[in-house]
Amino acid sequence: MTQALDLAGRALRATEGDEADASVHVESSGLARFADSAVHQPTLIRDASVTLRVVRDGRVGSATTNRTGDEGLEAAARRAAAAAESSPVDPGFPGLQPPAPVPEVEGYDEATAGQTPEELAESAAAAIAAAGDVGLYGYYTSAVTELAVASSTGHAVSQAMTDASVLALAASDDASGYAEATSWRAGDLDPGAVAREAAEKAARTRDAAALEPGTYRAVLEPYAISELLFYFGFTSLNALAFLEGRSYLSGRLGERLFDESFTLSDDGLDSRGYPKAFDLEGAPKQRVALVEQGVARDVVWDRRTARQAGDGRESTGHGLGPPAQGFGPIPFNLSLAGGDARSVAELAERVGDGIHVTRLHYLGVVDPREGIITGMTRDGTFRIEGGRVTEPLVNLRFTTSFPALAAGLLGLTEEVTLVNRSDFYDERYPYGTLVPAVATDAFTIVGTGSGPGL
Amino acid sequence: MDALAEHAIDAAVAAGAGYADARAVRRRAQHVATKNGDVDSVSDSETEGIGVRVLVDGAWGFAGDPRLTGEGARDAALRAVSFARASASRARRRVDLASVAVASGEFAPAVARDPIEVPLEEKIALCLRADQGMRRPEVKITEATVRAMREERVFRSSEGARLRQRFVECGGGIDALAVSDDGRVQNRSYPSAHGGSSGQAGWEHVEGLGLEGEAERVGEEAAALLEADPCPAGVTTIVVDAEQMLLQVHESVGHPTELDRVYGTEAAYAGTSFLRPEDLGSLRYGSEHMNVTADPTTPLGLGTFGWDDEGSPARRQPVVEEGILTGYLASRETSRLIGRELAGSMRADGWSRMPLVRMSNLHLEPGAGTLEDLLADVDRGLYLCTNKSWSIDDKRLNFQFGTQVAWEIRKGKLGRMLRDPTYTGVTPEFWGRLDGVAGAEEWRLHGLTNCGKGQPGQHAHVSHGTAPARFRDVQVGVRQ
């Protein structure tokens, strides 16, 4: 039994016979943040929190605490019950998760779980040393996280997860390059190699040229397509947005919306990603085919939206649980199938003339219904001429239609890469996307920004 | 909590810290959300713990522990020291701190009615009434939210600071989403998008927002947007409402004047700044109408404190005066680097995060006249209201904002409603085109709770006082 499941059981007992569930999050993490090639914000966090949801005659309330002694849990149970008593009946409440088996998944590595502060600092130092003379900015981090859900229905599940990431921005006043790597096994990471990739890219970004606005052919590295895909997924592959008509897929399931090379799933069971056995309501994780050969097939569901759909649907295991369920179900394990290009260089050949984008910055969804997203490129934007990457470009503002981008695919690499998508706000919950690099004929640039560098 | 913080400091110093501070924090928060006439969520959360920050041989270390016990305080201190020591052996430069007067005291905002103590039933009822007021056939989704928070924070440092602060926040907002039969989607919000507006105040602040009173207008405008013409593209004069101005100030003045960004500390994530240390006192940021002030003493401000999270006292500080950069948001470390005595603006998200340079309350100072006066001097232009989308580059230069609605301005008067407006610019050029800010009677304080920064990520709660402002020759209608 994990520490989290034991805590969930104790919390549930504090509800004294109410219809209730307890979800538990236990974290031990370390992050060695560095800037200008020195570790400057090393942070160690330990926490354990419990969210109790109490249901009384169809009225639902929740309370969260990190006071995990008996007194703290009993107080949380009283507050959850008071919240339920204060509420009118929730007609959309789907009930608590009934007992159900959850899949066995990987995602825990003992060596990663046991990393010490000294090892974190050593990994950061290895990255810094490998960058050479150029300043390195970023972090090395690892964590062990336990999740558990226990319910008065008898459902009780838990999972221990590890995660590790290295992120490197190699930068000087007039140059910058970026690379990152992530895995649930710290041993898979080579901080020095990541830093070298960033430094080598930075060295090619000096004397960047401007670019006229327009729609360009483009190669998007995994870091870039991962971020676009996640924003599109958050706003359009979410059943709540779908049911409310806010999603690009609303009313369009079954239609051929994208290039036939575009096949997308959400796959929490894939050990190449950050595997999950269940969601934050305890519902078993399922692989969901979202787009097959360009045809929109489905979105991800939680218990509430599945009930709302009313057509026999069931949760696919993508619920957030209280009190965050208002966002709807989220595809935390997006996986874009690879294609037939053997390398990023081959994608550039298919583009012919266009641009190469390493990384994006500060995305905003301009129109979720149409899938229009804005943001900037940074830390490695280049011109492609005659099928080859040539001169560096300044940071570019794009305002582009993701559906048009995915409808105009010119190719995807065979190799897919796990890209971390967590910025480690609030409680640690590792997730990322499995993506290839892609080439498209429709990436719209609307303006230019500053040059690469600090 | 006082004794625990003291215990943590003692443990850190005994273990070799040259400097240590500790924050013991207890936070309680409530959130109520209704949707389409039903309760969407009712939650009541608490968290507590201690965060210990140390300097060992000139290198930082930080550790957070949820146990407000002697053992928890000691463990956090020793872990912080061990991480700092591991980092120090690889440090390239030693961290030095600007001196600050050793402070002792207490701070608490004036609160008539503690928002946590307001019954949940009352909060739910308010949301349901506001929710109901927005409904009409075209509006498919109505949402209302209120929030309340109370936090006790004790600070101790090895220099002898002894501070006890209490923070109380509450706020709310409403949103209406209209969907047409052919799938077009539009929304309106009040008093701000993205979670409403909050203040550091008692429940009287939420009651004063007038959520119910504004609900009908919000619903009507969301429905009307479905039939509105799209905002055309072009270069024109824009008048930006106070709510959108808060984000304009936040993104294009607040973040670039954070001195840690100027020195590159945030380069890998939030980004840097187009500003340089030597720009202080000379860089022209905008026109003579531009006056921006950081003020952690503003009544009702979410960034109002007695002392920041490294013990520096709250102090009002100009950031831009008549268009010239005259101040930065700073920490003791960055003040030392730049060699100037700057007001401290270090804030941490709870007990488990290390303090960072953050905005407190950052205001665009009022000019003169009314909104009507600003409009009167526009032959052709747009009045842009309520943020819908935002994005800005890593140096805080190139930005693009979308607003929920625009109204055409023709010969000084508001005309037809337009949908999907956007505008774009480059920070100092854009602010250089500022040719009027409305006066104090139009100035409003907005509080937002979703400012992100740092690795691991931290949310900050900040306020901005703004009034409608007019900019000439701005590119609008940027769309794919």
Give tens-digit pLDDT for A288-326: 999 999 999 999 999 999 999 998 999 999 999 888 888
Yes or no: say if A439 and A349 are a contact pair by the CB < 8 Å rule: no
Nearest of A172, A85, A56, A66 to residue B27 by alpha carbon:
A66
pLDDT at position A2 = 80
pLDDT at position B479 = 62
Backbone angles phi, psi at B289, to 5 degrees: -80, -10
pLDDT at position A322 = 87
Cβ count near B408 (within 10 Å): 18
**Residue B389 is nearest to which of A40, A124, A366, comparing CB atoms?**
A366
Give the CA distances from residue A214 to residues A355, A359, A441, in Å, rounded to whole numbers and listed in that order. Answer: 11, 19, 12
Mean pLDDT of all residues in chain A?
97
**A69 and chain B in contact, CB less than 8 A:** no
CB contact under 8 A, B391 and A82: no
pTM above 0.80, yes or no: yes
**B348 and chain A in contact, CB less than 8 A:** no
In angstroms, the separation between the Cα of residue B233 and the nearest Cα of chain A is 12
Using DSSP bridges, classify how beta strands A354-367 and A214-220 pair: parallel, antiparallel or unpaired: parallel
At residue B71 the predicted structure's pLDDT band, cuts being 50, 70 and 90, is very high
CA dihedral B102, A35, B450, A449 (to 10 degrees): 130
Could you write out the DSSP letters of every residue in B345-394? -EE-SSTTS--EE--SBEEE---SS-HHHHHHT-SEEEEEEEEEEEEE-T
In angstroms, the separation between the Cα of residue A30 and the nearest Cα of chain B is 9
DSSP state of A450: P
Distance between CA atoms of residues A268 and A315, nearest Å: 14
**B116 and chain A in contact, CB less than 8 A:** no
At residue B170 the predicted structure's pLDDT band, cuts being 50, 70 and 90, is very high
Chain B segment 446-475 residues within 8 A of A by beta carbon are: 452, 454-459
Chain A neighbors of B394, CB-CB under 8 A = 361-362, 376, 378, 395, 450
Q: Which residue has the tokens 């090619």?
A: A204
What mean pLDDT is predicted for residues B64-75? 98
CB contact under 8 A, B391 and A375: yes
Distance between CA atoms of residues B369 and B467, nearest Å: 10
Backbone angles phi, psi at B302, to 5 degrees: -70, -20
Mean pLDDT of all residues in chain B?
97
Distance between CA atoms of residues B400 and A364, nearest Å: 9
Using DSSP bridges, classify how beta strands B398-410 and B413-419 pair: parallel, antiparallel or unpaired: antiparallel
Cβ count near A320 (within 10 Å): 18
pLDDT at position B392 = 94
Distance between CA atoms of residues A451 and B278, nearest Å: 20
At residue A1 the predicted structure's pLDDT band, cuts being 50, 70 and 90, is low
Chain B neighbors of A41, CB-CB under 8 A = 60, 62, 265, 354, 454-455
Distance between CA atoms of residues B99 and B93, nearest Å: 19
pLDDT at position B240 = 98
A25 pLDDT higher than 70? yes
CB contact under 8 A, A76 and B49: no
CB contact under 8 A, B264 and A35: yes
B277 pLDDT higher than 90? yes
**A375 and chain B in contact, CB less than 8 A:** yes
B480 pLDDT higher than 60? no
Give tens-digit pLDDT for B95-151: 999 999 999 999 999 999 999 999 999 999 999 999 999 999 999 999 999 999 999
Among chain B residues, the shortest Cα distance to A404 is held by B480
A and B: number of Cβ contacts within 8 A: 286
Mutation to test the A interface, candidates B23, B28, B34, B43, most A Cβ within 10 Å: B43
pLDDT at position B478 = 76
**Residue B92 is nearest to which of A38, A423, A424, comparing CB atoms?**
A38
Mutation to test the A interface, candidates B25, B82, B90, B461, most A Cβ within 10 Å: B90
Give the CA distances from residue B352 to residues A164, B13, B22, B78, in Å, rounded to whole numbers and listed in that order. Answer: 19, 20, 11, 15
Give tens-digit pLDDT for A167-184: 999 999 999 999 999 999
Give tens-digit pLDDT for A409-432: 999 999 999 999 999 999 999 999
What is the crossing angle of helices B120-133 and B211-225, to 10°? 30
CA dihedral B449, B454, B456, B457 (to 10 degrees): 20
Helix (H) or strand (E) holding B200: none
Among chain B residues, the shortest Cα distance to A129 is held by B90
Nearest of A204, A160, A241, A233 to residue A390 by alpha carbon:
A204
**Residue B389 is nearest to which of A139, A364, A369, comparing CB atoms?**
A364
**Residue A399 is nearest to which of B184, B452, B478, comparing CB atoms?**
B478
Residue B206: helix, strand or coil by DSSP? Answer: helix
Yes or no: say if A278 and A149 are a contact pair by the CB < 8 Å rule: yes
Chain A neighbors of B132, CB-CB under 8 A = none
Could you write out the DSSP letters of every residue in B113-181? S-GGGS-HHHHHHHHHHHHHHT--TTEEEEEEEEEEEEEEEEEEETT--EEEEEEEEEEEEEEEEEE-T
A368 pLDDT higher than 80? yes
Give the CA distances from residue A100 to residues A21, A55, A92, A151, B268, in Å, rounded to whole numbers and listed in that order. Answer: 14, 20, 22, 11, 42
Among chain A residues, the shortest Cα distance to B128 is held by A88
